Amino acid sequence: MAIVLRSVETGQMAVMNSQLALSFFALVLVTTYLVVQIRLNLRILGSFVSPLAVIFMLTSSLLPSDAIPKSGAFHSWWIFLHVTALFIANALFALAFSAGVMYLLQERQIKRKNFGFLYPRLPSLERLDEINHYCLIIGFPLMTGGLVAGFAYASLIWRSTWSGDPKEILSLVTWFIYAILLHERLAVGWRGRRAAWLAIFGFSAVLVTFLGVNLVLKGHHTVFVR
Amino acid sequence: MCHIILLGMNHKTAPVEIREQLAFACGQKVNPLHILPHLDHVNELFFLSTCNRVEFLFTCGDLHGAMQEVKALLGTYLGTSSTVLKDAYFYIHRDLEAVQHLFRVASSLDSMVVGEPQILGQIKSAYREATEYRTVKVILNRLLHKTFSVAKRVRTETSIGSCAVSISYAAVELARKIFGDLRDKRVLLIGAGEMAELAAEHFLAQGVRNMVVANRTLERAVELARRFKAETIPFEHIHDALKRIDVVLSSTGSPDPILRYQDVKSRMRERRNRPLFFIDIAVPRDVDPKVNSIDNVYVYDIDDLQGIIDLNRQGRKKEAERAEHIIAEETLRFHEWLGTLNVVPTIVALRDKAETIRRNELQKTFSHLPHLSDSDRGAIETLTESIVKKLLHDPIVFLKKKAERETKELFVDYTQQLFNLSDGAEIAASSLNHVNVVERDGGDLLDSLKK
């Protein structure tokens, strides 16, 4: 609620520093989870997603909160598209990540024939794999669209599509990870453990791109985000 | 005094032939529920027949007479000429024991496979039938509804239903953890051991429609295929069959493994890595243990399954103890309700008397006052009603409260003398129909008292 209000108040999306971006992402994540929950009715996923959201919220409160000055550069449909599509895609990847963790836990128990506390509570392997799959096939086009919007926007204001900015490079790397995962899944028939690992790996790349660059490296995204 | 009697036989007390005979006779010849009007001593009757048990639950005033009647009925079902009607086959539970037994049956504590879920559904449909024949009345109605809620409580508060205790059941549970829905999965049966058959039956019960049988001797394969509505494939083709199979149930007498690492590994790519689950019940083993190390392939041999069962058995024992505790608690509660039933005739008599007096007096008064308008009459009517109601409120609450005590007979007696009521037993039969009404009102009163 506060996030939405702030967005309205400043007349732009509340993603203008790492703190806001992260808490906004937590909101998008929970919303996406709720939508998926309604469609798939899988409560246990919530117990993996909600800690993730909490971690994001906590991290966000540790981050610097000084907002960057308003600038005309923010008022564009491209940037709206860029941010929205990428955030939803990342939220879906976060769900795929959670499903991947659940898959690995459950698979390990079944493979080692050693059943613990979680065994009766987790859903079947095929179900988890399915979730992973759906999050990927919906998330990937969104991510692609978001990136394209970003590049289009860049070429609009800087007259160059590619400027070798670290965030751009890392985004492409992330995109390739997911592209490989999708390709292997659809064409080769990867599934199960390896796909779960790759989903986890992919989401780590997302986090690095999202946070690492904002906080550590400098680039022209820092015009927007400090 | 009203008795609740349960007479029955189950898989522990009677051999299957006798149970079959009785179940068949009840199903085909004459439905026992149909006979109830001809039984003088039996008031209410509930009849349950499943493949593992046949139970008669009834209420009666005269214990001895009712038992004679029901036994005679059983005699006609089983044929008196035969010597099968031995008391040893039957168990007879009275009153609280009967209540407890019914609760245990419904909670699946008395089942062959403890925790299996079908029994509750069977009791429910038996109850539906009994309500159609109108053979359950106040007591059994209440008892059966209580039974449903107890069974539900046991199911939700303990995990007795989630413990696999047979090898085949454990195998099916595992398959469900891997595949989720089994309906569109294919099962390959290699060899035809008894245990594999049992497991195949379990898979069938879980909705598996696609089964394939491979056996060295064709006749046996065909026989099994007919039983499971499966197709057969030559034994030599099992490796290629792996491409389109999801679960393999293997139980051959082969001294060497018939499925090796390379056999499976080389076919996983063609399967597009869809999970493959081997259940190897054979000793010595049919599936090379190394197969388990392939991605998305899971191999369970008989020891692994036995391990799960042992684990579950321990868990189940604990759960069963908790379930028994719940049942004991609920039995006691039902007992309390039965106790309140004893004071009900007196309460009904008290109300009837008050109501009769009210009506008579009202009539007298109205005949002296012909000039009253309809609304005035209505107002006076309401006034008298509420006076009677409020006056009787405390004595009724008092009786209900005492109903759970040992001394209730004394209070019932005093009340009857105090208000000059006729003997409770006489009106008991007719007034039982009012129990629900009193029950409802009384319940409200008790609730408000507790607050």
For residue B342, pLDDT beyond 50: yes
Could you report the per-residue pLDDT of A154-190, keeping only the tens digit for each?
787 776 666 667 777 888 888 888 898 888 888 877 7
Could you report the per-residue pLDDT of A60-91, keeping only the tens digit for each?
777 665 555 555 555 667 777 888 888 889 88
- pTM beyond 0.80: no
Could you report the per-residue pLDDT of B168-226, keeping only the tens digit for each?
778 888 888 888 888 888 999 888 767 777 778 888 888 888 889 888 888 888 888 88
Active-site pick, B2, B51, B60, B163: B51
A192:B275 CB<8 A: yes
| B310 in Cβ contact with B396 (< 8 Å) | no
Strand B91-94, strand B42-49: pairing: unpaired
Q: Where in chain B is the domain with CATH 3.40.50.720?
A: 167-295
Q: What is the DSSP string of B420-443?
A: TPPPHHHHHHHHGGGHHHHHHHHH
The C-alpha atoms of residue A111 and residue A134 are separated, in whole angstroms, by 25
Question: Considering only alpha carbons, which residue of chain B is nearest residue A116?
Answer: B311
Could you report the per-residue pLDDT of B292-327, keeping only the tens digit for each?
888 889 998 888 888 887 777 777 788 888 888 999
Question: Considering only alpha carbons, which residue of chain B is nearest residue A184?
Answer: B272
Q: Touching check for A197 and chain B: CB below 8 Å? A: no
For residue A202, pLDDT beyond 60: yes
Question: B3-157: what CATH class?
Answer: alpha beta
The CATH label, of 3.40.190.10, 3.40.50.720, 3.30.40.10, 3.20.20.70, for the domain at B167-295 is 3.40.50.720
For residue B409, pLDDT beyond 60: yes
pLDDT of residue B446: 41
In chain A, the percentage of residues whose pLDDT exceeds 90 is 3
Q: Touching check for B278 and chain A: CB below 8 Å? A: no
B51 is catalytic: yes
| B210 in Cβ contact with B233 (< 8 Å) | no
Please choose, from the candidates B33, B35, B216, B193, the residue with its C-alpha nearest in 3D space to the C-alpha of residue B126: B33
The C-alpha atoms of residue B308 and residue B448 are separated, in whole angstroms, by 51
Q: What is the DSSP string of B345-381?
A: HHHHHHHHHHHHHHHHHHHHHHHH-TT--HHHHHHHH
Could you report the per-residue pLDDT of B355-374, keeping only the tens digit for each?
999 999 999 988 888 888 88
Q: Where in chain B is the domain with CATH 3.30.460.30?
A: 3-157
Q: How many CB atoms lie within 10 A of CB B56?
A: 22
Q: Touching check for A188 and chain B: CB below 8 Å? A: yes
Could you report the per-residue pLDDT of B111-125, keeping only the tens digit for each?
777 777 778 888 898
| A95 in Cβ contact with A45 (< 8 Å) | yes
Mean pLDDT of chain B: 80
A191:B273 CB<8 A: yes
The C-alpha atoms of residue B227 and residue B203 are separated, in whole angstroms, by 13
Q: Indicate which of A117, A121, A124 best probes the interface with B, i.e. most B CBs within 10 Å of its own CB.
A: A124
Chain B positions touching A113 (Cβ under 8 A) are 300, 304, 307-308
For residue A103, pLDDT beyond 50: yes
Q: Touching check for A110 and chain B: CB below 8 Å? A: yes
| Cα→Cα distances B100→A12, A200, B238, Å | 68, 53, 52
ipTM over 0.85 threshold: no
| pLDDT confidence band for A11 (50 / 70 / 90) | very low
Q: Touching check for A119 and chain B: CB below 8 Å? A: yes
Chain B positions touching A126 (Cβ under 8 A) are 178-180, 275
Residue B307 to chain A, least CA–CA distance (Å)? 9
Q: Touching check for B273 and chain A: CB below 8 Å? A: yes
Residue B315 to chain A, least CA–CA distance (Å)? 12
The C-alpha atoms of residue B372 and residue B362 are separated, in whole angstroms, by 13
pLDDT of residue B45: 87
